Amino acid sequence: MKSLNEQDSKIFDLLGKETNRQNLNLELIASENFTSKAVMEAQGSVLTNKYAEGYPGKRYYGGCEFVDVVEDIARDRAKKLYNADWVNVQPHSGASANAAVYLAFMKPGETLLGFDLSHGGHLTHGSHVNFSGIYFKPEFYGVEKETGRLDYDKIREKAKAVQPKMISIGASAYSRDYDYEAFRSIADEVGAYLWMDMAHTAGLIATGHLKSPLPHAHVVTTTTHKTLRGPRGGMILIGKDGENTLGVVAPKSGRVKNWSEVLDSAVFPGTQGGPLMHVIAAKAVAYGEALQPDFKDYQTQVIANAKAMADEFMAMGYDIVSGGTDNHLILIDLRNKGVTGKLAEEALGHAAITVNKNMVPFDTESPFVTSGIRIGSPAMTTRGFGEEEFRTVAKLIDRVIQDPENETVHAKVTQEVEALCEQFPLYDFITA
């Protein structure tokens, strides 16, 4: 058989270019990371050929004896990682995991109370352009203008007023931890289900750097490729299994199904077909890595680096939303610097620094322009950056933002970025 190079030189060349880009850019997008060689080997394997609709021991296809073991290993490791009664490792992505949760817990037209998208929430928590906002009735809670943080008394008031069927927690640009007990007491008070989407912080929760939602939420979803550093994918977990209170019964026996059964059905056949067994193998590898002691050291460094960067920015007069961070990301409100998020993202892109523009709470610009940028530490921490490097990164970003349209600055910063990146090689086994 031909290698990729022989078969398709166009795609081969583009992979080379992307490898180079990843090597020589400062990757600061908070939702990205670099997986291990082992994860990529598992993902780029023969398991991509296998159909395995169903679950281990209960498949709709033959030849599943090995993939059954792979999926069982993935599930066992994930359960251990989060101290969970049950997990489903089949969701193709975070959005797919969330779709299954909606199918299990909500009927069309029912109300969801979620984290305001313009304050850091996610599209799948009720955006009008997403199925969650099209099929369900979204209501939102947000952060306080003065503190940039959630006020749980206000969330309780809102929940009482809108009487949601489900309350969701989780965001893409919130740099503080959550009070899950408070959320659960609010949910109980209004008779709602509580769902935590820990897509961004799953790695930090696995190592105990952030509180675990599993003892408090009815259901938890996540991606596997952000701080958890696995392949692109999703997962659903429950802390404590037991009879569902949705009234879902098994068709023949009339027995009330457990939560785990309701959610398994919501993934397959509810919202997905065949699982991506190559990705599930890579998830198993990533969970195995996350159970090792050095993963904890990694997450300690992720937080230390985000804090060092936040401190450096604040010392230079930048406005960090909520005044700092508890996790892997910071959100910078650039309004006092006279630069929009769009201009900052573009200018930094010219200087080999990859960030994303981001709405800040109470933003006065449109989502296409925005007043802020979001910066995360997970990817460059994987490459070996420590606090000193992240302080240097903050200074490089500042030089670009001070003079965003100056091409000489772009060129000089690019040189410094490349010199820094070369000290911390990525994927030395791949040649571009």
Ligand X SMILES: *Cc1c(COP(=O)(O)O)cnc(C)c1O
Residues forming the active site: 51, 53, 197, 223, 226, 232
Nearest to 94 by CA among 289, 276, 225: 225
Q: How many CB atoms lie within 10 A of CB 283?
A: 32
223 or 325, CB closer to ligand X?
223
**Minimum separation from the CB atom of position 292 to ligand X (A):** 24
Instruction: Select from 27, 71, 139, 197 the one that contacts ligand X (CB under 6 A).
Output: 197
Closest residue to bound ligand X by CB: 94
Instruction: Select from 199, 220, 331, 352 the one that contacts ligand X (CB under 6 A).
Output: 199
Tokens 């990164």, located at residue: 393
Residue 33 binding ligand X, by CB under 6 A: no
Calpha distance 120→122 (Å, rounded): 7
Instruction: Select from 22, 43, 130, 172 the one that contacts ligand X (CB under 6 A).
Output: 172
Q: Of 21-29, 165-173, 269-277, 306-314, which part binds ligand X (CB under 6 A)?
A: 165-173
What six digits make up the tokens of 58?
Answer: 């209960």
C-alpha distances out from residue 29 to 157, 242, 428, Å: 34, 38, 22
Calpha distance 113→116 (Å, rounded): 9
Residue 168 binding ligand X, by CB under 6 A: no
50 or 122, CB closer to ligand X?
122
Residue 130 binding ligand X, by CB under 6 A: no
122 or 357, CB closer to ligand X?
122
31 or 322, CB closer to ligand X?
31
Calpha distance 237→231 (Å, rounded): 17
Residue 94 binding ligand X, by CB under 6 A: yes
Nearest to 241 by CA among 214, 222, 268: 214
**Minimum separation from the CB atom of position 273 to ligand X (A):** 17
98 or 414, CB closer to ligand X?
98
Calpha distance 324→327 (Å, rounded): 9
Tokens 């281990």, located at residue: 56
Residue 93 binding ligand X, by CB under 6 A: yes
Footprint (CB under 6 A) of ligand X, residues 315-374: none
Residue 95 binding ligand X, by CB under 6 A: yes
Residue 35 binding ligand X, by CB under 6 A: no
**138-141 — which CB contacts under 8 Å span 24+ positions?**
138/111, 138/112, 138/114, 139/111, 139/112, 139/113, 139/114, 139/164, 140/113, 140/114, 140/115, 140/116, 141/113, 141/114, 141/115, 141/116
Residue 122 binding ligand X, by CB under 6 A: yes
Footprint (CB under 6 A) of ligand X, residues 232-291: 234
Q: Of 93-101, 140-148, 252-260, 354-362, which part binds ligand X (CB under 6 A)?
A: 93-101
88 or 172, CB closer to ligand X?
172
**Minimum separation from the CB atom of position 297 to ligand X (A):** 24
Calpha distance 246→139 (Å, rounded): 22
Identity of the residue numbered 382: T
199 or 348, CB closer to ligand X?
199
Q: What DSSP character marks residue 130?
A: S
Q: Give the total of residues touching ligand X (CB under 6 A).
A: 14
Footprint (CB under 6 A) of ligand X, residues 213-242: 223, 234
In our burial notation (b when 16+ CB lie closer than 10 A, e otherwise), range 326-357 reads bbbbbbbbbbebebbbbbbbebbebbbbbbbb
Interacting residues of 129 by C-beta distance below 8 A, sequence separation 6+: 123
- List of residues contacting ligand X (CB under 6 A): 31, 93-95, 122, 124, 170-172, 197, 199-200, 223, 234
